[in-house]
A and B are shown apart, each in its own frame.
Chain A
Amino acid sequence: MSGIHHRFSPGQRVLHWLIAICIIAMLFIGVGMVSTITPIHLALISLHKPLGIAILVLALIRLVLRVRHGAPALPADLPEPMKLAAHLSHLAFYLLMIGMPLIGWGMLSAAGYPIVLFGGVHLPAILPQSDGLHALLWDAHFYLAFAFFALILLHVAAALFHALVRRDGVFDTMAPGPTHD
Chain B
Amino acid sequence: MSPSPRPASLGPLVLIAAVVGVGAAAFAYTAGWFSPQRLTPDKLVDALAPPGGPALGHRRNHAKGICFTGMFEANDAGTALSKAMVFVKGQYPVLGRFNLATPAPGAADATVRVRGLGLQISTPDGQEWRSAMIDAPFFPVATPQAFYELLTASGSKAPDAMKNFVAAHPELGNFGAWAKSAPWTGSYAEERFNSLNSFVFADASGTDHVVRWSLLPVAQPAAVPPEDLAKRDPDFLEQEITQRVGSGPQRWTMVVTLANPGDQTADPSKAWPDDRKTVEVGTLTVDKIEAEADGPCRDVNFDPTVLPAGIHTSDDPFPAARSAAYAKSFDRRTAEADDYPRTVPGAKP
Q: Find the B residue at minimum CB distance from A28.
A: B30
Chain B 310-337 near chain A by CB (<8 Å), digits 1 or 0: 0001000101110111000011011101
User: Total interface residues on B, using CB and 8 Å?
Assistant: 51
Which of B2, B127, B299 gathers the greatest number of chain A CB atoms within 10 Å? B299
A135 touches B (CB below 8 Å): yes
A98 touches B (CB below 8 Å): no
Q: Find the B residue at minimum CB distance from A118.
A: B309
**Interface contact B126-A153, CB-CB below 8 Å:** no
**Interface contact B1-A168, CB-CB below 8 Å:** yes
Q: Nearest Cβ distance between residue A140 and chain B, in whole angstroms?
A: 12
Chain A 153-169 near chain B by CB (<8 Å), digits 1 or 0: 10011001100111110
- Which residue of B15, B308, B337, B349 contacts A129 across the interface (Cβ within 8 Å)? B349
**Interface contact A42-B126, CB-CB below 8 Å:** no
Q: Find the B residue at minimum CB distance from A149.
A: B27
**Interface contact B20-A156, CB-CB below 8 Å:** yes
**Interface contact A38-B320, CB-CB below 8 Å:** yes
Given contacts A36-B38, A120-B125, A157-B19, contact A135 B12 (CB under 8 A): no
Contacts of A132 in B (CB 8 A): 334, 337
Q: Give chain A's interface secondary structure class.
A: helix
Contacts of B334 in A (CB 8 A): 111, 131-132, 134-135, 138
- Which residue of B308, B309, B321, B325 contacts A38 across the interface (Cβ within 8 Å)? B321
Contacts of B299 in A (CB 8 A): 111-112, 129-131, 134
Within 8 A of A (CB), among B6-49: 9, 12-13, 15-16, 19-20, 23-24, 26-27, 30-32, 38-41, 44
Q: Nearest Cβ distance between residue A169 and chain B, in whole angstroms?
A: 8
Q: Find the A residue at minimum CB distance from B328.
A: A34
Given contacts A153-B24, A165-B9, contact A31 B30 (CB under 8 A): yes
Q: Nearest Cβ distance between residue B309 and chain A, in whole angstroms?
A: 4
Q: Find the A residue at minimum CB distance from B338.
A: A132
B301 touches A (CB below 8 Å): yes
Contacts of B82 in A (CB 8 A): none
Which of B2, B39, B125, B324 gathers the greatest number of chain A CB atoms within 10 Å? B324
Within 8 A of B (CB), among A142-181: 149, 152-153, 156-157, 160-161, 164-168
Given contacts A114-B126, A157-B19, A157-B20, contact A36 B40 (CB under 8 A): yes
**Interface contact A37-B39, CB-CB below 8 Å:** yes
Q: Find the A residue at minimum CB distance from B45.
A: A37
A113 touches B (CB below 8 Å): yes
- Which residue of A113, A120, A152 contacts B301 across the interface (Cβ within 8 Å)? A113
Contacts of B301 in A (CB 8 A): 111-113
Q: Nearest Cβ distance between residue B166 and chain A, in whole angstroms?
A: 23
Which of B144, B320, B333 gathers the greatest number of chain A CB atoms within 10 Å? B320
A2 touches B (CB below 8 Å): no
Given contacts A31-B27, A120-B125, A156-B23, contact A165 B349 (CB under 8 A): no
Contacts of B20 in A (CB 8 A): 153, 156-157
- Which residue of B5, B127, B306, B330 contacts A120 across the interface (Cβ within 8 Å)? B127
Q: Find the B residue at minimum CB distance from A40.
A: B320
Q: Find the A residue at minimum CB distance from B24.
A: A153
Q: Find the A residue at minimum CB distance from B83.
A: A120
**Interface contact A131-B349, CB-CB below 8 Å:** yes
- Docked complex Cα distance between A38 and B30 (Å): 14
**Interface contact B40-A113, CB-CB below 8 Å:** no
**Interface contact B31-A32, CB-CB below 8 Å:** yes
**Interface contact A42-B313, CB-CB below 8 Å:** yes
Which of A45, A77, A114, A149 gathers the greatest number of chain B CB atoms within 10 Å? A114
A39 touches B (CB below 8 Å): yes
Contacts of B306 in A (CB 8 A): 113-114
Given contacts A37-B320, A156-B20, contact A112 B300 (CB under 8 A): yes
Contacts of A40 in B (CB 8 A): 320
**Would you list the 4 A-B pairs with minimal beta carbon distance, nearest first?**
A164-B12, A135-B335, A35-B32, A120-B309
Cross-chain pairs A/B with CB under 8 angstroms, 15 sampled: A28-B30, A34-B41, A36-B32, A37-B40, A38-B320, A113-B306, A114-B128, A114-B306, A120-B309, A134-B334, A139-B335, A160-B15, A164-B16, A165-B3, A165-B5
